[in-house]
Structure 1
Amino acid sequence: MKIEEISVILAQLFNSDAIAHNDEDTWQVKSDRLNLLVILSENHSWLRLLTPIAPVSEAQVMFEQLLTANFESTGEVRYAIGQNVLWGVFYHRLESLTSEDLQSAITSLGTMAEAGLSESFQDLIEGRIRQIIYAAKLQNQSLETTLQTLERFYQEGMLGGLNQKPEEREQFLGAWKYQLKRLWSEVDANES
Structure 2
Amino acid sequence: MIRIALLTVLLVMSTMARGQDLPTPEGPMTMERMAGIIAALDPEVSQRGPTFEFTIQDIPVIVIADPRADRMRAMVPIRSADALEQAELLRLMQANFDSALDARYAVAQGRLWGVFIHPLSPLERDQLISGLAQTVSVALTYGQSYSGGASVFGGGDSSGIYQELLDELKKRGQEL
SS in structure 2 of the partner of residue 119 of structure 1: coil
Q: Is the 8 A contact 2:77 2:114 kept in 1?
A: yes
SS in structure 2 of the partner of residue 96 of structure 1: coil
Higher relative contact order at CA 8 Å, sep ≥6: structure 1 or structure 2?
Answer: 2
SS in structure 1 of the partner of residue 121 of structure 2: helix
Once residues 73 and 102 of structure 1 are traced to their aligned partners in structure 2, the CA distance between those partners, rounded to angstroms, is 18
Tell me the residue number matched to 1:110: 136
Q: Is the 8 A contact 2:30 2:67 kept in 1?
A: no
- The counterpart of 1:47, out of the listed 60, 72, 81, is 72
Is 1:94–2:120 an aligned residue pair?
yes
**C-alpha root-mean-square deviation of aligned residues, in Å?**
1.7
Q: Which of the pair is proportionally richer in helix? A: 1
CA shift digits 1:115-162 (9 cap, x unpaired): 232336xxxxxxxxxxxxxxxxxxxxxxxxxxxxxxxxxxxxxxxxxx
**Unaligned ranges ≥5, structure 1:** 121-192
Tell me the residue number matched to 2:41: 13
Q: Is the 8 A contact 1:53 1:117 kept in 2?
A: no
The one-letter code of the counterpart of 1:114 is L
Q: What TM-score, normalized by structure 2, do the two folds share?
A: 0.61
User: Cα distance, 1:55 vs. partner?
Assistant: 1.0
SS in structure 2 of the partner of residue 118 of structure 1: coil
Q: Is the 8 A contact 1:59 1:117 kept in 2?
A: no
Once residues 117 and 90 of structure 1 are traced to their aligned partners in structure 2, the CA distance between those partners, rounded to angstroms, is 19
- The counterpart of 1:4, out of the listed 18, 26, 32, is 32
Q: Determine what percentage of the aligned residue pairs are the same residue.
A: 26
Distance 1:2 1:42, change over 3 A: closer
Tell me the residue number matched to 1:133: none
User: Cα distance, 1:39 vs. partner?
Assistant: 0.4
Once residues 32 and 67 of structure 2 are traced to their aligned partners in structure 1, the CA distance between those partners, rounded to angstroms, is 16
Once residues 90 and 99 of structure 2 are traced to their aligned partners in structure 1, the CA distance between those partners, rounded to angstroms, is 13
User: Cα distance, 1:72 vs. partner?
Assistant: 1.2
Is 1:70–2:124 an aligned residue pair?
no
Tell me the residue number matched to 1:59: 84
